[in-house]
Amino acid sequence: MFYVQRDAQGLLLRVETQAFDGMSGEMAADSQEAQDWFANRQLESSLQQLQQSDLDMIRVLDDLINVLISKGVLRITDLPEAAQAKLVGRSKARDSLGGLHRLINEDEGGLI
């Protein structure tokens, strides 16, 4: 048995295994609606993990491009103008925050 809270249209807002303040009803654990709710929560969690991974990869790619440019393997002018503008903008933003060393988390051992 699950305890639920629904909005004015009857859509689920919250599903819990324990009774809670503001609950508006109960639902059988084996109901299709319960299965759909938890499948949707799993999908949302996976999407959030993917979004965080994308942010982490942006940082890795930014650092990789900077290393390639600093070693002369790549010139910023080799990139399309839109990419150049984005890289310059990110570089300025990082510089205004005090450079790379201030952006590395304490628990990170390095850039990559």
For the whole prediction, is pTM greater than 0.75? Answer: no
DSSP β-bridge partners for residue 26: 3
Which strands sit side by side in the sheet containing 25-27, from one edge to the other?
12-16, 2-6, 25-27
**Would you list the domain boundaries of the chain?**
52-112
Helices (H) and strands (E) in the chain, counts: 2, 3
Count CB-CB contacts under 10 A for residue 2.
Answer: 20
Q: How high is the pLDDT of residue 100?
A: 53
Count CB-CB contacts under 10 A for residue 80.
Answer: 8
Q: How high is the pLDDT of residue 18?
A: 93
More confident call, 8 vs 95: 8
Summarize pLDDT for 48-107 with one digit per residue, the tens: 999 999 988 988 998 899 899 999 999 999 999 999 999 999 888 888 887 555 545 545
Mean pLDDT within 20-24: 93
Cα separation of 101 and 20, whole Å? 46
